[in-house]
């Protein structure tokens, strides 16, 4: 049996989070002490570990609650939906990066450039022995194997939609 603060510390959560989980019926302690203090069992702890796993995947507490209640494996569905959502969010963040680059004026002014652009990428591939034909072949492979990922990759280099279309069409 653990008190609320003990469990919170072990799980690297705040006490208030556990109180909140109790309130929304996500995780209720299986006992209470004589003075009405929350007491968490080993089983409660296991459940909290599960909750944390799903939380690390970015599922909402509401979704976690549902899939823990319906003990079956509806988890797959939720997780796949979440994957879609993550892709969407990453796209949005990329678009925000582009917006900032535009607002800041020139790419060269960027502080510690974590953003790689097309020119840099080409330069690096050339430096390791690729020529234009090789790169074309590489895009064709990429498009055939993983078309969505290919699009994501091209977008991340800040390449305009039109050019992306052209590159993707090489594979046809």
Partner DNA sequence: GCTAAACTGTGAAGTTATAGTCAGGTCAAA
Partner DNA sequence: TTTGACCTGACTATAACTTCACAGTTTAGC
| Residue 154 binds which of DNA, a copy of itself, none (CB < 5-8 A, kind-dependent) | none
Q: Which is nearer to a copy of itself, 28 or 82 (CB)?
A: 82
Instruction: Identify residues 61-120 at the interface with DNA (CB under 7 A).
Output: 61-62
Q: Which string of DSSP letters, residue by residue, matches 86-140?
A: HHHHHHHHHHHHHHHHHHH--GGG-SS-----HHHHHHHHHHTT--HHHHHHHHH
**Residue entry with tokens 């494996």:** 73
By a kind-dependent CB cut-off of 5 to 8 A, residue 74 interacts, out of DNA, a copy of itself, none, with none
CB of 99 to DNA, least distance (A): 14
d(CA 121, CA 166): 18
User: Which residues, at least 6 apart from 63, have a Cβ–Cβ distance to it below 8 Å?
Assistant: 54, 78
Closest CA to 41 of 27, 53, 59: 27
Return the number of the residue (125 or 164) whose C-beta is nearest a copy of itself: 125
**CA torsion, ordered 31, 36, 37, 43, to nearest 10 deg:** 10
Would you tell me which residues interact with a copy of itself (CB under 8 A)?
A: 53-54, 56-58, 75-76, 79-80, 82-83, 86-87, 89-90, 93, 95-97, 99-100, 103-104, 110-116, 120, 123-125, 127-130, 134-135, 137-138, 141-142, 145-146, 148-149, 152-153
Least CB distance from residue 115 to a copy of itself, whole Å? 7
Q: Specify whether the CB–CB gap between 34 and 1 falls below 8 A.
A: no
Considering the rule CB under 7 A, would residue 33 count as an interface residue with DNA?
yes
Residues in touch with DNA (CB under 7 A): 3-6, 13-17, 19-20, 22, 32-38, 55, 60-62
């Amino acid at each position: 049996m653990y008190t609320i603060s003990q469990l919170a510390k072990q799980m690297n959560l705040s006490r208030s989070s556990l109180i909140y989980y109790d309130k929304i019926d996500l995780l209720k302690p299986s006992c209470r002490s004589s003075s009405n203090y929350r007491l968490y069992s080993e089983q409660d702890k296991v459940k909290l570990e599960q909750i944390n796993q799903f939380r690390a995947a970015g599922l909402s507490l509401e979704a976690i609650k549902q899939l823990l209640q319906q003990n079956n494996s509806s988890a797959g569905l939720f997780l796949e939906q979440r994957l879609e959502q993550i892709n969407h969010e990453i796209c949005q963040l990329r678009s925000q990066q582009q917006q900032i680059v535009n607002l800041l004026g020139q790419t060269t002014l960027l502080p510690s450039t974590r953003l790689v652009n097309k020119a840099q990428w080409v330069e690096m591939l050339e430096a390791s022995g690729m020529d234009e034909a090789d790169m074309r072949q590489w895009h064709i492979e990429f498009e055939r194997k993983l078309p969505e990922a290919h699009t994501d990759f091209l977008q991340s280099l800040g390449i305009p939609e039109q050019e992306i279309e052209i590159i993707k069409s090489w594979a046809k």
